[in-house]
Structure formats: C-alpha cells, structure tokens
Amino acid sequence: MKPLYISQVTALTIVTIIWFSAGSKCSQEGPEFFFDDPGPFQTVNTVRQNNILPNGTWPFSFPFPGRLGGIVLNPAPATFPGNFTVLSPTSEQLKQHKTVLEAAGISDLSALGDMTLSGLVMPQIGITVPSADQYEAQGALFQHACQVDASRTSLVRFGGIARRLKAKPPPSTGLFSLLPDNLHAGPPRPTVRASAPSTGGMVVDSYIVARTLRLEDNLLIILDYPNLYLTIIAEEVIVGQNVTITWERPMQHTSRKLDPPGKPPKADPPFWEDGTTPGLWGVTGQRGIDGIKGFEDDPRRSSKGYLDGADAPEIELWTLSLKGRPVVDVGGQDGGQGGPGQDGGDGGDGSTGWDAVPEFLIDCRRSHGAGGNGGDGGKGGDGGTGGDGGHGGRFKFYAPQSVLTEFARGFLTKADGGGRGEGGVTGLAGNGGEGHKCLRANMAYRSEQPRIAVA
C-alpha cells in the first residue's frame, strides 16, 4: 500500500474562545484559546501536561502523498496574538487517522478527486469521499443548530432539512486508544471520544476526505448528536462566504407539572366540651397543602443530570492550503429549564353553623351558630433549579505554519460551555376554602341574637 505523508505541519487547537456578540442564545463570551504547535514547548498561560515530541522526524507518516520523509518539526516557536498556551498534538492522532483511512482502502488523497459541499449538509458516521452521488435520498430535520449571521458578528439559531452525506461504514480495526484529556480548560471530564458510542472496538467518527474540498457560500455543516467527532482531511480547502460548521443540540428533557394536592375535608360543626351541645361559633377550614418544588437534578451528582446540557463535539481540520475561514460552532448546550413548581392546594371549607331551634313563639331555645371561614390556600411550589450547561467542544486545526499564522489573524469560533438552564416557573397559590352559615339558609332565625315573635 502506498504510504501516506504530510510535511511541515503544525497545529492550532481552539478550546475556549469566542468573539461573538452576546445577544444570542448561540453566543457567549469565552476567556482563552490554545494553540498546538510541534515546536519547542512554551507557555504563556497555564500548561497542564507536556506532550511535546522531540524535534526531528515524526514517527508516523500521514495523509498527503508526494511528500518526502516524515514530518519535519519546525523548531521556531510561533507567535500569536492574545492569551494562549502552546501544546503539541500526540502521535496517537496521526496514527489513528492513518489506520482508519488505510483500513478503508484510502492511501492516496490525489486519487480521490475533488468534493464540493453546498446548502445544508449533515455528515454521517463513517468516511465520506468524493462521489457523483454523495447525498442520501432522505433528508434529516434539524432545529437546534446555529448559523453565522450576515454581519459575521454573532450566531443565530437555525433549523431546516439537511442532506445526509453518504459515508462508507467505519472499519472495525480494534486498534484505537483514547486520547488524553490534556487540552480541556476547566474541571476534568472524559474526552468526547471516551464517552462516544463505539462499534467494533473503534472510536466512531465522521470523516470527510478529498484532494480538494470546496465549501460553497452559506454552507452549513451540521453534526447530528450523538455524532460528536468530525475530521476533515484535504490537501486544499477552499471556503466561501458565511460557511458555518455547527451541531444539532439534542432535544432537552422537560418535566411535567404535578397536579395540585387534594383539598382538605370540610371542617365539622363545633361542639362544647361535653361533645353533645352544639357550639355557636364557626370552625375555620384547614389550610391548603403547599405545592412541592419543581423537578431538579441532584446537586451531588457526579455524572450528567437529566437537565444538563450536552457536551459539544470535537472537530479536526487537516490541510496544506486553506483559502477563506469557516465559522466553527462547538459551544456547549445550555442546561435545561428546571421543572415547574406544583400549584398549592385549595383551602378546606369552613364549618356550617348550627340552625336556631325555636321553642313556642316568644323566644328561641337556641340561636343559630355562625359558619366557619374557609381555609387559606396552600403556597405554590418553587420552580426547580435549571441544569448545568454542557462542556464546550474543541476545534483542532493542523496546517503548515504559514497557514496557521494567516488563519490566526482573524477567525470566528465558539467553544465555550453552555449556560445554566433557567429556573422552573413557580406554582400558583391554592384558592381559599368556602365559608358557610347555617344548615338551612331560609330559616327565620338568622341573626346572632334571639328573635322574639310578636303576635
């Protein structure tokens, strides 16, 4: 098999960076970004792990035919604007991609020809190569992706029906090892690769491979969750205007509002201490039951909660020549909204007053008793706490030093974590119970004082 080669390649990895306006749910600010460069190790910010390979020839030849030798590392460190950390890609990345492509029978990018992508496109798990019939017949609906606006200053939510790219099934090699999580800026977490589903012992990725890859104006490439890893490999990549690489956020969980609690029973009419003599006072109804708090995840959880946003995907781009710049959206999904609070229960009805009991026509044996007031309604439950936002993804760009330097002068990438979900809606207070008077409202004896009949 003809070997695959790449020469003089350095790398740029953006982990958390975002220069989009803050007016959109798809855009939030991020604090820093990271560069991968196979030159000498240096740091301007915090370095978590030194994976630098020694200067000299890279031990693995990889994807571009017609190059001599292996990879010659550039000993001169690159200078980039802004707050950054210089790291180095591991040989496992090269080894894995080389193994996947060779297992699929791809050993010469030039033999693959050119590929043009336009409109709304959704990569599939497996390897996509140039073809006259490169789209599946059935499209795919998406509703929660993002697209750069015409001003190229912010990302806006976008949906539609995308064309699915045809892909060769991924080869089952069983040779892959997981990449270390040394590039994440934040609390430790598994890499997307470590948590992604797998088939046949290999990491499940989407590959787009071509000699020349043309990305037409207004193209939207949408990764469909849980397809979380896209690798683009081409000798030359030509990017049109307003090209966005984004991902479809999964539908978030919602919790149903609980039915309000039952109403307390009506208060019994009063009695004196002997238990037999009716009292003349009313008994107030019971207070309604308070609503319970809306659903929320256990704050002590050590794994993803029901309401937590999904982690964003990882995207790699390998090329020797890049014209234009795609906008890359690998921002984490916002957390889901907390559950609605339960409505408070209605208050219990007050007791019914006793009827007056007449004796002869000149006085009353007993006047009527006043009815009780209705009980207060229960308090509505608080809304549940929203879920945590998902982790931001990664965009890794591997290219010659000159291409990286030009790219770093101006690019738009969102890779920050998602925001916390909104709290649930507070439940409504219950209605007060009904008050009551006498057992028989039409009796002549309704006043609280005895009435004397006049002949």
Segment 139-151 shows an average pLDDT of 84
User: What is the per-residue pLDDT for 436?
Assistant: 65
d(CA 304, CA 250): 14
Q: How many CB atoms lie within 10 A of CB 210?
A: 22
Contact between 210 and 114 (Cβ < 8 Å): yes
Q: What are the residues whose beta carbons fall under 8 Å from the beta carbon of 384, sequence distance 6 or more?
A: 255, 293, 294, 295, 296, 307, 338, 339, 340, 341, 423, 424
d(CA 314, CA 294): 34
d(CA 149, CA 98): 36
CA 4 and chain centroid, separation? 38
* Longest Cα separation, the chain: 129
| Token digits of residue 134 | 């490169």
| Token digits of residue 311 | 């982690």
CA-based nearest residue to 125, from 174, 161, 171 = 171
For the chain, the average pLDDT equals 67
d(CA 121, CA 230): 13
pLDDT above 50 for 75: no
Quote the DSSP letter at residue 373.
Answer: P
Task: Return the minimum-mean-pLDDT range out of 61-70, 139-148, 334-343.
Answer: 61-70
d(CA 424, CA 234): 47
Q: Which of 64-68, 123-127, 411-415 has the highest mean pLDDT?
A: 123-127
Beta bridge partners of 32: 16
pLDDT above 80 for 137: yes
User: What is the per-residue pLDDT for 36?
Assistant: 36
| Token digits of residue 403 | 């291409």
Segment 138-143 shows an average pLDDT of 89
Cα atoms in the 13 Å half-sphere on the side-chain side of 413: 28
CA-based nearest residue to 413, from 390, 389, 394 = 394
| DSSP H helices in 135-249 | 192-195
pLDDT above 80 for 66: no
Q: Which single residue is written with the structure tokens 């019971």?
A: 286
User: What is the per-residue pLDDT for 359?
Assistant: 52
334-354 pLDDT, tens per residue?
888 888 888 888 888 877 765
Segment 231-237 shows an average pLDDT of 91
User: What is the per-residue pLDDT for 130?
Assistant: 93
Computed over its alpha carbons, how large is the radius of gyration of the chain? 35
User: What is the per-residue pLDDT for 117?
Assistant: 96
pLDDT above 60 for 10: no
Pairing type for strands 394-399 and 10-14 reads antiparallel
CA 386 and chain centroid, separation? 12
Query: Is the pLDDT higher at 98 or at 455?
Result: 98
d(CA 99, CA 1): 12
User: What is the per-residue pLDDT for 275?
Assistant: 64
User: What is the per-residue pLDDT for 208?
Assistant: 95
Q: How many CB atoms lie within 10 A of CB 449?
A: 8
Contact between 387 and 421 (Cβ < 8 Å): yes
Helix (H) or strand (E) holding 33: strand 30-36
Q: How far lies 44's CA from each of 35, 321, 429, in Å?
A: 11, 28, 56
Contact between 37 and 102 (Cβ < 8 Å): no
Model confidence at 238, pLDDT cuts 50, 70, 90, reads very high
182-226 pLDDT, tens per residue?
323 333 333 434 333 333 334 458 999 999 999 999 999 999 977
Where do the domains of the chain lie?
A: 10-255+312-339+388-414
d(CA 267, CA 181): 65
Phi, psi (rounded to 5 degrees) for 402? -65, -35
User: What is the per-residue pLDDT for 92?
Assistant: 65
Q: How many CB atoms lie within 10 A of CB 240?
A: 16
Task: Return the minimum-mean-pLDDT range out of 84-98, 253-267, 271-285, 289-303.
Answer: 84-98
Q: What is the pTM of this model?
A: 0.65
Q: Which residues of 431-445 are buried (b: 16+ CB within 10 A; e: fewer)?
A: bbbbbbbbeeeeeeb
Contact between 209 and 4 (Cβ < 8 Å): no
Instruction: Tell the burial category of 446 from Cβ atoms under 10 Å away from its Cβ (0-12, 13-18, 19+).
Output: middle
pLDDT above 50 for 65: no
CA-based nearest residue to 240, from 219, 217, 220 = 217
381-426 pLDDT, tens per residue?
888 888 888 888 888 888 887 888 787 777 777 878 787 878 888 8
Please tell me the total number of residues recorded for the chain in this structure.
455
Query: Is the pLDDT higher at 173 or at 257?
Result: 257
